[in-house]
Chain A
């Protein structure tokens, strides 16, 4: 396995796991090595159950579930050891299936379950709970406990985003380590001792940081739940689709949870090349925009009185051509400009660029909303595909704005409405500055103040509703799957542009496309 760029390649050793030999890097622990080989707990891989170990957190060794039998060269007999903290070495022999391993796992599970409430029917984690899974796979069905189970606080309000059920907690300390190591905010700790141990915050301090909800993702049981998703859906009724967050240029990987045709949540999906195991809270909640009440669902055009009203697709396309054709014929492509958006997919910005090229429009630019960045993931550019738009030729917007303000433009084709937002502090443009234009055609997902000046609006799809690829700030091209169906009439930018191209009779559009 190649190490991260810039890191010296460590030596390689051979280990034998359940009879199969693997070359691994010598500076790793057994779990890290198997994880690096992509073998850990995948079908046909090596199964080592674990709670406290997490690939992106420091080793804790607290749950003891990952025990396996190890024999190092020179050992007379195999011994049980925790795989998360066992360094590999040349000739290490690992047995994950022995009788002793099975008994060790069973013992750990019995102790963990001794005080665990029988909450599964009302627990949000049920169905994706590692305690449930492992109890089923490695545990014993009957409890030997005659004492009453420990009673603890069932609904602790940890902060604005997350709730804690202390009874369900198995004290793996993943959440504690996350807050100390990843966000550096250190809100959580384990107080008390023995069976009274519990996760707590300092008096008067809340779990409140821009990445707080990741603790619910990494909690292996139902102890930590996001208030956003609490009691919203049973997870086994969710379809999980591989998607990306589109709220900034990082393009963090998410699992999109879909039920009843609607997106119910995003949870972080691991991608070591993009976001590790984390996503920011703002991005996590950005799924709410998909079904927001201000989504556009129909083409809009001005009626006789000047009101923007729903029209059919054909009418809208015809109207676009009716407006553009005379402008192009009489005043030439120089009076037309195209504004791309970092929200459109690579396929859509490419289609837009081709469309503008065929029209001979060369006043083009990329409108982008900028905001705060942080050192972890959040990038200043608040769109998923700014790099992709730049790659097809959409550069800074300033030249276009200058031309507009100098009165040199009559028509504008605009993807999205970031044009009005620019930098949150100083918007690129006030919608009023577009008031004098002959023709403003907007392709957007959501309503915006652009409506005041738009003559035509085409409703486009959110990334979760379409096929397309997005290039993140590091140049990683990602192709999320479609998670939900868009409302009827909501289409891709490229689809609308194709139709308008046909209506304008442009070369390369419609029937003569193959020519």
Chain B
């Protein structure tokens, strides 16, 4: 069991506030990601049992959304939006620059486990691109120097 009793109780109480219990599945995935650092296949299987869905239905959500990962990632999740509005103002160059600065490629974690770098779909900050998200924080109107300064300040 990777989902302990306390977490399970929270998930089950959220299920009760939805007319369709499986409406709480996305929220449950967020809880699991936050508390366990990832949605491992054990966790996904346990969720599928709690929600009485097929395990692959949980996997469909985990792999659809960027918020979830199947293995633990670095301490900081850094994602750069590369959808069209950001791409038009240089998001792909920014991402390349960040890759160079950190010495890792998109999808990888720095060897010290500090930063995991990812690509992001639109976060609704189109007017202030390019942008990146670190955990719950948005960093907007970035150029490479500004982005690197933010990254270097992360512990």
Contact = CB atoms under 8 A, between A and B. Distances in A.
Contacts of B117: none
Interface string A200-235: 111111000000000000000000000000000000
A190 B54 CA distance: 12
Nearest to A192: B63
Contacts of A200: 56, 59, 63
Contacts of A189: 54, 56-57, 59-60
Interface string B64-97: 1000000000000000000000000000000000
A180 interface: yes
Contact of A191 (B41, B54, B63, B121): B63
A153 interface: no
B56 A187 contact: yes
A188 interface: yes
B44 interface: yes
A189 B54 CA distance: 9
Contact of B64 (A186, A192, A205): A192
B55 interface: yes
Nearest to B53: A186
A138 to B, nearest CB: 30
Contact of A205 (B55, B57, B60): B55
B83 to A, nearest CB: 11
B61 to A, nearest CB: 9
Interface in A167-211: 180, 186-193, 200-205
B79 to A, nearest CB: 14
A202 B44 contact: yes
Contacts of A192: 63-64
B82 to A, nearest CB: 12
A139 to B, nearest CB: 27
A186 B64 CA distance: 18
Contacts of B57: 186, 189
A389 B63 CA distance: 55
Most buried by A among B41, B56, B57, B63: B56
Most buried by B among A180, A188, A191: A191
A193 B60 CA distance: 9
A180 B54 contact: yes
Contacts of A188: 56
Given A202-B41, A202-B44, A203-B41, A191 B55 contact: no
Interface residues of A, number: 15
B80 to A, nearest CB: 17
Given A180-B54, A186-B54, A189-B54, A204 B41 contact: yes
A191 B64 contact: yes
A203 B56 CA distance: 9
A503 to B, nearest CB: 63
Interface in B85-142: 121
A186 B56 contact: yes
A190 B57 CA distance: 8
Interface in A411-465: none
A202 B64 contact: no
A504 to B, nearest CB: 63
A187 B44 CA distance: 14
Contact of A201 (B44, B45, B56, B63): B56
Which of A190, A191, A202, A205 has the most C-beta atoms of chain B within 10 angstroms of its own C-beta?
Answer: A202
B72 to A, nearest CB: 16
Contacts of A193: 64, 121
Given A202-B41, A202-B44, A204-B41, A190 B60 contact: yes
A249 to B, nearest CB: 31
A200 B44 CA distance: 15
B63 A202 contact: no
A204 B54 CA distance: 14
Contacts of A180: 54
Contacts of B54: 180, 186-187, 189, 202
A203 B44 CA distance: 10
B56 A205 contact: yes
A202 B53 CA distance: 12
Interface of B: 41, 44-45, 54-57, 59-60, 63-64, 121
30 contacts: A180-B54, A186-B54, A186-B55, A186-B56, A186-B57, A187-B54, A187-B56, A188-B56, A189-B54, A189-B56, A189-B57, A190-B60, A191-B59, A191-B60, A191-B64, A192-B64, A193-B64, A200-B56, A200-B59, A200-B63, A202-B41, A202-B44, A202-B45, A202-B55, A202-B56, A202-B59, A203-B41, A204-B41, A205-B55, A205-B56
Please name the 6 residue pairs, one residue from A and one from B, whose CB atoms are nearest each other, closest first: A186-B54, A189-B56, A191-B63, A202-B55, A202-B56, A189-B60
Given A186-B57, A189-B54, A191-B60, 17 more contacts: A187-B54, A189-B59, A190-B60, A191-B59, A191-B63, A191-B64, A193-B121, A200-B56, A200-B59, A201-B56, A202-B44, A202-B45, A202-B54, A203-B41, A203-B59, A204-B41, A205-B56
